[in-house]
Structure 1
């Protein structure tokens, strides 16, 4: 048997440091070059030189690509998909240590020299020697390393099961990589007659609260959606404030009702979604002037467990109408006090209603031209473009003002959960037993991964058309942003997230637990997969007796 390259703790650590050194911050050149380097790395395995069609780069967007690496057993149809992402968040918080952010060994040593300047828990972990620091060590290049090790071992030992490694860009922003991978996964299934048995992600174990040192695995992933609003008032000069209505005044009513609103909280299996908060609120004035701000936008973060996009839009509209009623009541009282005529009543409209109105007034061709003008602006991201489309339409339909236009802005992560699946339940029990007996570490199950993950784009369970409200009310839908809902629904297999323990993702103190990453988790993952095909072999023996 050929000696393995990515098997021992030392080999895994070396591979991790190499992958981390390939700076792949989201929306940088490094993110574009990372998959090319990874393909070259995987080609070090003879298997992919002999089967070059099993290793591929696939286009995503903006020059970015994702990698698929297929281990195909000649007689197997059962297939496990290994999912990871290789992009990382930015590194500005490292300050003068930024050049070392992607050099884990050097960064860990330098931080040790500065340990007295760090928080007590970080300093304690540094002094223990049990953690490796660096951007991407925890979130989540170690997950990719573990999957590469599994592929190599499957090849070496001729495992009677198929593995598909998928590693993608852009998870930290819009999950464009995973959304593109859905089509490849459906194509692979059809071409090779595969039966997907499990979608296994490698995101790390996150703490549930400060000071939490428990090890978690996840049988689902929380969802996220972003209701947004364009507030369109009436402009005036600050010297004549009662001749208009500021959009900021209107926005204040909705934001007050959206922030921490328990109406949006969901509870499932004893776990709660975090309460909604505003992620952005700003007026659209390009420069300072004494003209009052009459166009304002806001984004609100809402987490999901069971609700669909349609459910959330219905709730959002309900809250927006309550906000408009309060705003109108207070405004009417103001008009009575100041003895002036009102400029109108604030109305609430969904984006779909605005779009239909604009097409009827301006014509389909002019509306499409307005939308295309926004889409062509490369300086705006997907959220900006969504809000700008609504703004451009309202500028030409200002007779609808004052109005609150409700819409969705990307990204959208549907919730996914497999806690009731028999295979997942058996796997979790196996992990609990192995981890406790061999390592003395307790495994704890969480039903919804609270950090968001690419598992949201497989095993889609909406039996109705709960996504239609998203399609209808996302201004850039079908152009700058799409979700393959129908294809996602075809990828029916349970989900599970098993990764190493780490702390402080997206912080200067991001760190990976060395023993968990290089000793415990590799053993657990190997046991999990071997148990699956060994169970199948036992079933086969029973049916042939």
Structure 2
């Protein structure tokens, strides 16, 4: 064994005790803690230039990534390099309610949980002593602790490496991936200056059961991609006493949610694996205050996972879904109006509304053609002023831009405008399409075969990590047309939001995810299984390292 489970467990607790909620100063403290832990290792005490904090670029917050590397001495001419990656931030702790004060103190939290009424499975696992509870223990500080233990081992045994081992702990995984996107520049710099040849990346984000009764421990050879399709919906305002004389955009939004949320027809199934269907992440109107007039517009966006569909494919599919929703809303509205007319002894006449769905790129193109430089300059100035409002995230910034652009449309009849309003996280797939991928797959299979007899539950490899993950930002298969679709349909692009996808192309390292196992990531009873997370995970990871660069 490279270490004992207690070593990884102690590291986990030490990291969890630093409350590193995303977009808070705690992220800085977590980065400093990891930096200190590495700097105290004898290897790095003698080589302080091989561990450093790296400030993120173009970020509203001050925060840092942590980098370190060990140079193997077995064959110093070998530049093959493996990256160990894991994020240091967590989600918030509001879900712990009365236990917020101990959410980041696993020992105290578990004592207090003993006095609470718990679901049966949670109670059973807590009493067993084989599970560890607390914010971040699963997502994903035990994964970072596993990587730290490996960094320590190989720093003490560089003679076992014919190549180099890079440790990369990134901030801001939970919101905008500023950490990994900034870190690409550091990886690129090492590639150019030190000749590092990145042959594989091992991420350590958490894994969980996929269904009730699932006992498999999964390792993922890639990850789903993610888009945030968004809808700006305009209606026709009216006094609430004359409700059928207008068209409420909230009503259309409700039908759109019904049509898209949980819809399995919008699951991008591939290689026998099916990602979760889209689900609504926000639905609101843009009415600033109370009046008895219906809203002028509404705004909503959905999480959307992809495995093979391009950003353009998703726009096409959602245009169809929006048309269906709009037509259904109008049909139901006419039926209700007719029923109302009968009740109130009024003559019924078909309402004038027609379905109208516009892709954002098409709308801006038509506005530029119609209004020319006047429109372009107006919007440039509008965005420059709007970006001063730090209360707006990229998603709401995009909504305000579309709201302003809509004012320039001559045809103001109700419409759904489809756009993207946030980061596009590309899908990453390990298919064996080149020698690097073949080698990583082979090393993974060999490691599972060696470690499986020591562990009672099946260790199973799958193709797509089913959650949002920073592995999306280390390799890119999308062509230029796909990326251009993202650019042309995001109103925040180039002002509030920008991603240099070329940086991803230039790293383009095959990646897998070997992470801690547990339940309830992002929930009150977040917990990880100690044996798998602190023993099996580092052992499998070590075997892959030795196969590829040992």
* TM-score, normalised by the number of residues in structure 2: 0.90
Instruction: Look up the match of 1:404.
Output: 416
Secondary structure of 1:466's counterpart equals helix
Deviation at 1:245, TM superposition (A): 1.9
**Equivalent position to 1:19, from 12, 15, 19:** 15
Q: Which residue of 1 aligns with 2:425?
A: 413
Q: Residue 491 of structure 2 corresponds to which residue in structure 1? A: 475
Deviations 1:135-159 (A, max 9, x none): 1111101111111121122221112
Name which of structure 1's ranges 413-422 and 221-230 shifts more when overlaid on structure 2: 413-422
* 1:519 aligned onto 2:535: yes
Give the corresponding residue for 1:432. Answer: 448
Which residue, out of 213, 230, 233, partners 2:215?
A: 213
Q: Which residue of 2 aligns with 1:355?
A: 364
- In structure 2, C-alpha distance between the alignment counterparts of 1:35 and 1:281, rounded to whole Å: 35
Structure 1 range deviating more: 484-493 or 80-89: 484-493
Q: Give the deviation of 1:339 after TM superposition.
A: 5.8
CA distance in 2: counterparts of 1:328 and 1:97, whole angstroms = 48
Kept in 2: contact 1:244–1:343 (CA 8 A): no
Distance in 2 between residues matched to 1:113 and 1:263, nearest whole Å: 45
Deviation string 1:244-297 (CA, Å, 9 cap, x unpaired) is: 221123323433322333432222221112222222211111222101112111
Separation in structure 1 between the aligned mates of residue 456 and residue 128 of structure 2, nearest angstrom: 19
Gaps of 5+ in 1: 535-545
* Whole-angstrom CA distance in 2 between matches of 1:45 and 1:452: 32
User: Which residue in the other structure is 2:387 paired with?
Assistant: 375
Q: Distance in 2 between matches of 1:238 and 1:368?
A: 36
Deviation track 1:370-397 (CA, whole Å, cap 9, x = no partner) reads: 2233322111222211212111222343
CA distance in 1, matches of 2:178, 2:186: 13
How far has the Cα of 1:298 moved from its partner?
Answer: 1.4
Report what 2:126 is aligned to.
126
Aligned residue pairs: how many?
Answer: 528
Aligned mates of 2:186, 2:247 — CA distance in 1: 51
2:378 corresponds to which of 361, 366, 371: 366
Please give the alpha-carbon distance, in whole angstroms, between the structure 1 residues aligned to 2:311 and 2:52: 34
Task: Write the mapping of 1:76-87 to structure 2, written as runs, cut at 5 A.
Answer: 76-87=78-89
SS at match of 2:85: strand
Q: What SS does the corresponding residue of 1:68 show, helix, strand or coil? A: strand
Which sits farther off after the overlay, 248-257 or 408-417?
248-257
Equivalents in 1 of 2:528, 2:302: separation in Å? 32
Q: Is contact 1:313–1:469 with CA below 8 Å preserved after alignment?
A: no
Deviates more, 1:383-392 or 1:238-247: 238-247
Aligned to 1:183: 185
Taking the aligned partners of 1:357 and 1:369, their CA distance within structure 2 comes to 19
Unaligned runs of 5+ in 2: 342-346
Q: How does 1:261-300 map to 2 (within 5 A)?
A: 261-300=263-302
Instruction: Work out the CA distance in 2 between the residues paired with 1:154 and 1:161.
Output: 11
Q: Counterparts of 1:55 and 1:255 in 2: how far apart (Å)?
A: 48
Matched, 1:45 2:57: no
Cα distance, 1:330 vs structure 2 = 6.0
With over 3 angstroms needed to count, the CA separation of the structure-2 counterparts of 1:187 and 1:249, relative to structure 1, is same
Q: Distance in 2 between matches of 1:88 and 1:191?
A: 33
2:67 is matched with 68
Residue 511 to residue 326, structure 1, CA distance change in 2 (3 Å): closer
TM-score for the superposition, normalised by structure 1: 0.91
> Equivalents in 1 of 2:540, 2:348: separation in Å?
74
Stretch deviating more after TM superposition (98-107 or 257-266)? 257-266
Mapped partners of 1:185, 1:460: distance in 2: 16
Q: Give the equivalent residue in structure 1 for 2:146.
A: 146
Counterpart for residue 539 of structure 1:
none
Given that 1:310 and 1:468 are in contact with CA atoms closer than 8 Å, whether structure 2 keeps it comes out as no
Q: Is the 8 A contact 2:206 2:518 kept in 1?
A: yes
State the 1:402 CA deviation. 1.6
**Residue 344 of structure 2 aligns with which residue?**
none
Whether the 8 Å contact between 1:170 and 1:176 is mirrored in structure 2 is yes
Name the CA shift for 1:524/1:291 in 2 (closer, same or farther; >3 Å): same
State the alpha-carbon separation in 2 of the partners of residues 482 and 412 from structure 1: 10
Which of the residues 250, 253, 261 maps onto 2:252? 250
User: In angstroms, what is the RMSD of aligned CA positions?
Assistant: 2.4
1:436-455 aligned at under 5 Å gives the runs 436-455=452-471
* 1:85 Cα deviation from its structure 2 partner: 0.4
Distance in 2 between residues matched to 1:264 and 1:491, nearest whole Å: 31
Distance 2:233 2:528 in 1: 44
2:268–2:307 contact (8 Å) kept in structure 1: yes
Q: How does 1:333-348 map to 2 (within 5 A)?
A: 345-348=354-357
Give the superposition deviation at 1:346: 4.2
Q: CA deviation at 1:20?
A: 0.7
1:542 match: none
2:26 to 21, 25, 30: 30
SS in 2 for 1:87: coil
How far apart are 1:332 and its partner, in Å? 7.3
